[in-house]
Amino acid sequence: MDNEIKQALGELILKTIRAIDDLPIGSQERKNAINELDILYKLKIPETKIEFESEQFYAKLEAETAEKTETREREDRIRREDLERAELIRKEDAEKQKQKDKQELIFASADKGLKLVDTGITLLGLAAYSGMFNQGLSFEMGNAFTSMTFKNHLSRGFSALWGK
């Protein structure tokens, strides 16, 4: 309906302009036609102004919406990048912790192995010492007052106790 009215008003203005061209200059009919054209234009101006303002409003609204959408998309992209970086850092930290745990396990196993070897050496030493000690005692059973082996065993035992 609005378009029909606008179209009719435009046709009327065009018809009036053509009629003015055919009227003699300075005649009362021409003045009346010009006044009528003035009235028609005054009717068309507010409508044109409203259309123009409406177009500007919708263009501005569309620009703001596009800007908000772009801002939202940029914020979402930044948020995704931050999440990806955080996930990458978490994975790197987990990998570092895994390597650290592996190293601790290796060191603990090596420490246990060294303790086991140390215990074995101690037991072998005690077995050897016991064998030598028994030999020294069996020598003394043969009516000898003391043997050099027995003296050495005693001196090593006392030096081990007192750190000499």
Q: Is residue 151 part of a domain?
A: no
Q: Is residue 137 part of a domain?
A: no
Query: What CA–CA distance (Å, rounded) separates 61 from 84?
Result: 34
Average the pLDDT over 142-151 and give the result: 61
Query: What CA–CA distance (Å, rounded) separates 80 from 44?
Result: 53
Task: Give the domain range for residue 68.
Answer: 2-117
Convert the pLDDT of each residue in 72-88 to its tens digit: 999 999 999 999 999 99
Q: Is residue 79 part of a domain?
A: yes
Query: What CA–CA distance (Å, rounded) separates 84 from 17?
Result: 69
- Four-point Cα dihedral 9, 36, 40, 10, nearest 10: 30
Q: Is the pTM of this model over 0.75?
A: no
Q: Is residue 139 part of a domain?
A: no
Residue 100 confidence class, pLDDT cut points 50, 70, 90 = very high
Number of structural domains in the chain = 1
User: What pLDDT, on the 0 to 100 scale, is given for residue 67?
Assistant: 92
Residues 6+ apart with CB under 8 A from 47: 6, 9
